Structure 1
């Protein structure tokens, strides 16, 4: 083979190798591109119903951020069913926790109010389908706007499906008391505003299933609360420091809520006379969980709770005078639940073994020694 032929052969071979390498690289590149395309979720190709379902898992802050991506996402984020929770507690907490110095408490108070206003107007503009409402606002009607904003929110959005309310209507934690616009002792005024809120809720959201809130145990409050016949969960904390709880009001609450299943109660029963000191009875056909661990001076005489499965109690600080243990003739909790709660299977955190009614097991006996005020289980001769 001549020298020229050899050179041509080498050039052809190098050209062939280059084509092969180029083809391999091109295939590798295309394969990587296809792989990357396979790794990308085709969100834009989904129907709008699926997109909304996915966006529903975002927090409110994440939804607002997602609305900045593109015009189509902005339109999706405006869907009313994406805005079902009005959580003013978290809103004010995040605003308060931001490390941005504000020169004065008065200006900070104004910033928080504007934040709440903007959130309310945002929910109204989205025509939100409210299902949960959480807030901590002092509803005293002075110079404040909290009650007006809540009423505006409930009346201007779709609140028919609202089912859960967790609120504290007695104070606004992030605003100093000297800037709140309310007198510290304006207790009756707050109760009046609370009644107005319950009346508005009855009109806008009659199907509410759960309340967690302070409660004043006035006849008017009982009447308004008993209008919500769909209540299944009720957590009532004390409003007055010491306020008598008439047995008739407790009976009315339990009897006029036909679907009540979980009841958590906090009251501080004041001491007036050892001979007239109330010991309570509780009766409900539907109640399954009862928690009176936060109560002070609330003693049970008997219960008629055929479906009760869980019972919680605790020995809290006695708020009355120093008395001998026998002065009040307190019933033993073991006898109370044994006779009145045939389906009970948990006492505090202790599961009840089969046959616990015939003889009190040692585990339950230990719980009763730390819980019950009766002569058998209270080691001290005094009530305190």
Structure 2
């Protein structure tokens, strides 16, 4: 059976060079980075080198990069610590954020009495900037705005520079879940001076279980995890050394090859969109995912013209064909609930139809996309 992996927004294949780097780390750098002997010092040096490398590519200071277990921990850490340490009383977000943000904000409302406000969305899922401005003007409470740069389900991109500037003009903090964009887009934290950003290595061909938070210097945040002086005192616990060097290698390769690989994956997405339009003309693209300018180049979300009963077998049909894709975000798999993102933007009729996210990487080919489109067409027409 042919195998086609089109679920790269959930996780990506690890680059071969990253695997080699991690194997070397596991075999030869097994000292505890907190130990003062040569074994520990070698590991510590490599960790700090990785921190400096990432900071250099992002035009940040090394002290602003804090290694975490991934995007979810980074989002939780930033939001919870901002409420605890920075006197944040109001969080402004949207109803189509990742659950790492939404559930954390809900918990903070219940546990700490934080006021939560949701910015209005247009029919495509874009935040209403005029409404955001109104929310920022409502009272004098300390506010934090959390809006993701690239939506993980429909791929919409916000004008992150404009949002950041607006937030700061009202003395509000700005956090962005950038898990779907770091490793895919250039970042300069001086040009877009967000207060907080998050990243996960497994979204750009690195290992799972490692990511980082960008936390602007002198932010005032204090540690959420106590028990040691690791991560410059900000996150206690023995560092996951092999994962950190794997992240660094994946990060460097992603940015050194960014232009060529962006062009390649963009061509795949454009080809897929054209093929769907030709072979299944009644299909719709959710959000702005069918627009190459307004969405990320890495994914599309397609609403297919299939009745609800038949739709129950769609992912099974694709899986039997060896095609991996996603009904929603990977974090929702196993849930009976539909996509909270699509619920906000689709009509009742379209919500009854199946919507599938296909996401692409450098390891995909046009031949794989042809095979996938034909499998979809076959299911729609039978």
TM-score for the superposition, normalised by structure 2 = 0.23
Which structure ranks higher in relative contact order (CA pairs < 8 Å, sequence separation ≥ 6)?
A: 2
TM-score for the superposition, normalised by structure 1 = 0.23
